[in-house]
Amino acid sequence: MNPGPLCRQAIILAGVLLCLTPAAARADDETPAPVQAVPAVDLARYLGKWYEIARFPLFFQRVCVGDTTAEYGQRADGDISVTNRCRTEEGFSQIVGRAWAVEGSANARLKVQFFWPFRADYWVIGLADDYRWAVVGNPNRRYLWILSRTPTLPAEQLAAAEAAARAQGFDLRQLSYTHQSGDTAALKGAQDNADTSAPSPAKGTDTPR
């Protein structure tokens, strides 16, 4: 596995993110309401592997041609491990970082760090009741991801995820859809598991920093 391209582009992105301000989010005179995260995220249910369904184009992801995933795990120190992986023209590339919940956010707002001292906002702004899909963005609306527990997302669920982003003032004309070459059998098994599992109410305990 070649970590190089994704790592180099992520270093550049980290510097760019520091320069982005909410004031630059919209060029017109209309000022949308501030972005809001969901009320709470149950980290035990949120951890695991997510497939990228769509995203706003980002410089550091320009090397990715498909099969983009994000995997979250619990670290021994209480933080969250973050492994982003995608297929490139040269094979697969991945980058590993960490995240932690912002105090008082009920785990819905996180900080993500791949390289010290750079960190970025990771806000869960939309989330299915059964945690089958999630929408992740940031306060200045410069980036957006639609994630799914399965390589594909049924049309009605994708529409719901897009509606969650649109309601927060994100311009979905920028949205780029990701090719996933997921195993059909694995997809069916994951969907069957989601159908038979009883969802619990979203809840979370802050991870203090």
Q: What is the pLDDT of residues 147-204, one digit of tens each?
A: 999 999 999 999 999 999 999 999 999 999 999 986 443 344 444 444 444 443 333 3
pLDDT (0 to 100) of residue 107: 98
Domain ranges of the chain: 4-11+33-193
Q: What are 13's two structure tokens? A: 């992105």
Give the chain's mean pLDDT: 81
Structural fold of domain 4-11+33-193: Lipocalin (2.40.128)
The pLDDT tens digits for 46-88 are: 999 999 999 998 877 888 999 999 999 999 999 999 999 999 9
pTM: 0.74
Q: Find the helix or strand (DSSP H, E) in which 186 lies.
A: helix 184-196
Quick one: how far is CA 40 from the chain centroid?
16
Do the beta carbons of residue 15 and residue 118 sit within 8 Å? yes
